[in-house]
């Protein structure tokens, strides 16, 4: 308010006589009684104005916040006059024209105190509003930082917001790296500059006291210098001016802030350069730098430290998230490996199906017309689809291995026993023929015996050919091809043949269980075995529901459990129809069928060419087994031509 506080009044008015005794304490200022071009009241101050009988006032200054008005009333008025229309209702106090100087002095003093209190209140209100805005801004920044998942974007956002809130023209971000042996270093991750484009290269620096960033990282101390080139002697660090020399930029005010984790550990450093008086200013010339650069005020340090703490928490959370994600990726990788070790012939199937399905989902996401024009997939949903596809066959770990890898209708041990049985039958026929030949030699004369022995040898040869023919037919029937009616009759004929076992009991060439399996009309599995294979979907679902999925991934079990469902409701295990099947599962079923058809030869089937696989899928679409529109996209976008094995986990 100045050395002396100002009291204003109109020349020649009753107010002049009242305030005259106060001249030694206050700065008395008068204005002419008539409006002229002379000095006009300028506040803040106290205006002593004469009030007429009707409550009207003389000339009053504008700006009620900067003035307190004391009304001078005629002596006969003993109470506050009522303001008339057009009068002034902001009078602080009234004094009679005959009031003693002591009273006037107290009232004027009270007016100035009230004015000062008002000004303090205004400053406090502005400070509170500014603090509210800063808090709101910090909250907004905190929300933005905590919601960002991409690492590079997060780091860029941290530096951008730190510069924005401190009005810094440039800045850099460093992260503390820790090697497996515990050695720490400082990684220069990012730099930004509003006034200059400068090529940036990520480098690793030693964590030492001789640099500002290293000192802050090592000690967790904020550093604030008005001029980076005038750092006080005695400090262990010096400003590295290489950037300035190479770029022509001039670093002046400099603020280095530690990014501290909730545990108090410094995990990074923010270095902010050249605080600007005007946020939009560019600092390309000496004149611009002289005009706009200022030291970082205490407010910037306070806000910068708050933001640095938020940034540290966001980065720490993101790092923990990445560690958990890496851990989970490892778990998924191990799970896929476990599946493939159970059935090595399907190696790579899960990875290929996952890649095909993710690629198909991205193609569907780009559809601008048709039934799926509105279908969109976020990054999280694509990850959900990928995990579901990677783990869709995990339930096979719950299926008996002999059923899972069964390539023929008979199990290997069954076929081995069958071969041994037929070997025994051959040996038994040979032994029986030898016994009969000996008997003939002993009982008949030489000529008749030789003739009978020749006949017995011919009969043995025919019987052995028949046994070999039976075995060939059995081996042919054992293949997982379509069993023709003729072959089924041949199996029945073989099963009706008997031989004496070592105990002398007549036993069939084929036992009932062997005949049943060899009579499977198509494929290598009977109904019970097929149900066991199909149960892998239930095992998959049961397993996946035990995992505490995040909100973004909680749909994985429902997607995986539906990959064998069909649009017409004839799939398994839940016989879902149409839209009851999740869209990702409908996409996965197409990719699963295609890969199963075209994958490398397996013991129970030959790989088919891509063109033939597409024909089979087209038939499936016509039979309403797969989604025809999704198959159209799969075929027209040539999803099947990708190279899904090029990457495993990104």
- Using one digit for the tens of pLDDT, what is the confidence trace for 591-607? 999 999 998 756 666 78
Q: Is the pLDDT of residue 410 over 50?
A: yes
pLDDT at 270: 92
Q: Alpha-carbon distance 395 to 330, whole Å?
A: 18
Q: How confident is the model at residue 203 (pLDDT cuts 50, 70, 90)?
A: confident
Radius of gyration of the chain (CA): 48
pLDDT at 319: 81
pLDDT at 228: 93
pLDDT at 131: 67
Q: Is the pLDDT of residue 508 over 80?
A: yes
Q: Alpha-carbon distance 305 to 313, whole Å?
A: 12
Which of 153 and 430 is assigned the larger pLDDT? 430
Write the DSSP string, 578-612.
GGGS-HHHHHHHHHHHHHHHHSSPBTTB----HHH
Q: Using alpha carbons, select from 433, 148, 453 the residue that is nearest to residue 314.
A: 148
Poorest-pLDDT segment among 252-256, 392-396, 469-473, 602-606: 602-606
Please name the residue that has the structure tokens 């770990």: 397
Q: How confident is the model at residue 77 (pLDDT cuts 50, 70, 90)?
A: low
Cα→Cα distances 40→24, 246, 504, 556, Å: 22, 57, 138, 78
Which of 401 and 274 is assigned the larger pLDDT? 274
Q: How confident is the model at residue 247 (pLDDT cuts 50, 70, 90)?
A: confident
Q: How many helices (H) and strands (E) does the chain have?
A: 20, 14
Is the separation of the CB atoms in 229 and 285 below 8 Å?
Answer: no
Q: How confident is the model at residue 321 (pLDDT cuts 50, 70, 90)?
A: confident
Summarised one tens digit per residue, pLDDT across range 177-196 is 888 888 889 999 899 999 98
pLDDT at 63: 57
Poorest-pLDDT segment among 78-92, 253-267, 354-368: 78-92
Mean pLDDT, range 148-153, rounded to an integer: 76
Poorest-pLDDT segment among 64-78, 321-335, 476-490: 64-78
Q: How confident is the model at residue 52 (pLDDT cuts 50, 70, 90)?
A: low
Q: Where are the beta strands (DSSP E) in 261-400?
A: 266-276, 293-294
Poorest-pLDDT segment among 5-14, 38-47, 303-312: 38-47
Q: Using alpha carbons, select from 275, 263, 259 the residue that is nearest to residue 189.
A: 259
Task: Kindly give the pairing relationship between strand 27-31 and strand 6-10.
Answer: parallel
Which helix (H) or strand (E) is 256 found in, with range?
A: strand 254-260
pLDDT at 53: 52
pLDDT at 84: 43
Q: Alpha-carbon distance 623 to 562, whole Å?
A: 18
Q: Using alpha carbons, select from 396, 319, 310 the residue that is nearest to residue 350.
A: 396
Of 1-10, 331-340, 407-416, the range with the highest mean pLDDT is 407-416
Is the separation of the CB atoms in 237 and 212 below 8 Å?
Answer: yes
Q: Is the pLDDT of residue 79 over 70?
A: no
pLDDT at 647: 39
3-state secondary structure of 73: strand
Q: Is the pLDDT of residue 82 over 70?
A: no
Mean pLDDT, range 320-329, rounded to an integer: 84
Poorest-pLDDT segment among 80-89, 240-249, 553-562: 80-89
Q: How confident is the model at residue 278 (pLDDT cuts 50, 70, 90)?
A: very high
Q: What is the pTM of this model?
A: 0.65
Of the chain, the end-to-end C-alpha distance in Å amounts to 67
Q: How confident is the model at residue 452 (pLDDT cuts 50, 70, 90)?
A: confident
Q: Alpha-carbon distance 576 to 568, whole Å?
A: 8
Mean pLDDT, range 637-645, rounded to an integer: 74
Q: Is the dihedral of CA 304, 310, 313, 318 positive or negative?
A: negative
pLDDT at 86: 38
Is the separation of the CB atoms in 47 and 26 below 8 Å?
Answer: no
Write down the mean pLDDT value for the chain. 86
pLDDT at 118: 85
């Amino acid at each position: 308010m100045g050395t002396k506080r100002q009291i204003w009044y109109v020349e020649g008015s009753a107010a002049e006589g009242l305030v005259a005794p106060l001249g030694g304490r206050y700065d008395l200022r008068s204005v002419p009684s008539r409006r002229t071009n002379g000095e006009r009241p300028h506040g803040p101050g106290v205006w002593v104005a004469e009030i007429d009988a009707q409550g009207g006032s003389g000339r009053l200054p504008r700006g009620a916040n900067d003035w307190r008005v004391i009304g001078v009333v005629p002596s006969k008025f003993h109470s506050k006059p009522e303001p008339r229309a057009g009068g002034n209702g902001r009078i602080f106090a009234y004094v009679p024209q005959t009031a003693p100087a002591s009273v006037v002095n107290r009232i004027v003093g009270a007016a100035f105190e009230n004015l000062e209190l008002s000004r303090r209140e205004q400053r406090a209100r502005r400070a509170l509003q500014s603090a509210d805005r800063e808090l709101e801004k910090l909250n907004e920044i905190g929300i933005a930082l905590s919601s960002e998942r991409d690492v590079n974007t997060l780091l860029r956002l941290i530096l951008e917001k730190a510069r924005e809130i401190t009005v810094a023209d440039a800045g850099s971000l460093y992260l503390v790296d820790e090697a497996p042996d515990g050695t720490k270093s400082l990684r220069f991750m990012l730099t930004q500059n509003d006034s200059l484009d400068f090529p940036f290269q990520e480098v690793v620096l030693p964590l030492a006291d001789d640099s500002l960033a290293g000192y802050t990282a090592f000690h967790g101390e904020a550093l604030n210098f008005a001029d980076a080139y005038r750092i006080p002697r005695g400090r262990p660090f010096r400003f590295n001016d290489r950037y300035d020399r190479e770029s022509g930029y001039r670093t002046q005010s400099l603020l280095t802030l530690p990014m501290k984790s909730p545990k108090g550990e410094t995990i990074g450093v923010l270095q902010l350069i050249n605080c600007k008086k005007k946020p939009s200013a560019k600092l390309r010339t000496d004149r611009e730098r002289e005009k706009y650069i200022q030291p970082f005020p205490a407010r910037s340090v306070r806000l910068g430290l708050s933001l640095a703490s938020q940034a540290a928490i966001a980065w720490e959370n993101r790092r923990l998230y990445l560690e958990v994600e890496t851990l989970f990726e490892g778990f998924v990788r191990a799970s896929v490996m476990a599946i493939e070790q159970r059935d090595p012939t399907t190696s790579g199937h899960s990875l290929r199906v996952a890649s095909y399905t993710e690629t198909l989902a991205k193609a569907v996401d780009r559809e601008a017309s048709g039934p799926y024009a509105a279908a969109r997939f976020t990054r999280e949903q694509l990850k959900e689809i990928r995990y579901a596809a990677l783990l869709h066959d995990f339930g096979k770990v719950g299926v008996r291995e002999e059923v899972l890898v069964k390539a023929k209708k008979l199990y290997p041990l069954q076929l081995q026993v069958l071969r041994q049985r037929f070997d025994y039958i051959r040996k038994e026929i040979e032994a029986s023929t030898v016994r009969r030949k000996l008997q003939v030699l002993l009982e008949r004369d030489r000529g008749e015996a030789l003739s009978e022995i020749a006949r017995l040898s011919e009969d043995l040869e025919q019987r052995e050919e028949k046994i070999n023919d039976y075995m060939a037919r059995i081996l042919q029937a054992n293949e997982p091809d379509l069993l023709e009616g003729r072959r089924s009759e041949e199996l029945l004929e073989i099963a009706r043949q008997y031989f004496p076992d070592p105990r002398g009991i007549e036993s069939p060439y084929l036992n009932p269980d062997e005949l049943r399996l060899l009579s499977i009309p198509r494929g290598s599995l009977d109904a019970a075995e097929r149900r066991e294979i199909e149960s892998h979907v239930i095992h998959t679902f049961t397993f996946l529901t035990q995992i505490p999925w995040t909100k973004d991934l909680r749909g994985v079990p429902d997607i995986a459990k539906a990959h064998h469902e069909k649009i017409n409701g004839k799939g398994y295990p839940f016989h879902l129809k149409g839209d009851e099947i999740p869209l990702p599962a409908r996409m996965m079923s197409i990719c699963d069928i295609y890969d199963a058809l075209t994958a490398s030869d397996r013991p129970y089937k030959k790989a088919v060419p891509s063109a033939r696989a597409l024909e089979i899928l087209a038939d499936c679409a016509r039979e309403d087994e797969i989604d025809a529109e999704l198959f159209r996209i799969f075929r027209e976008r040539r999803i099947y031509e990708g190279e899904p094995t090029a990457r495993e986990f990104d």
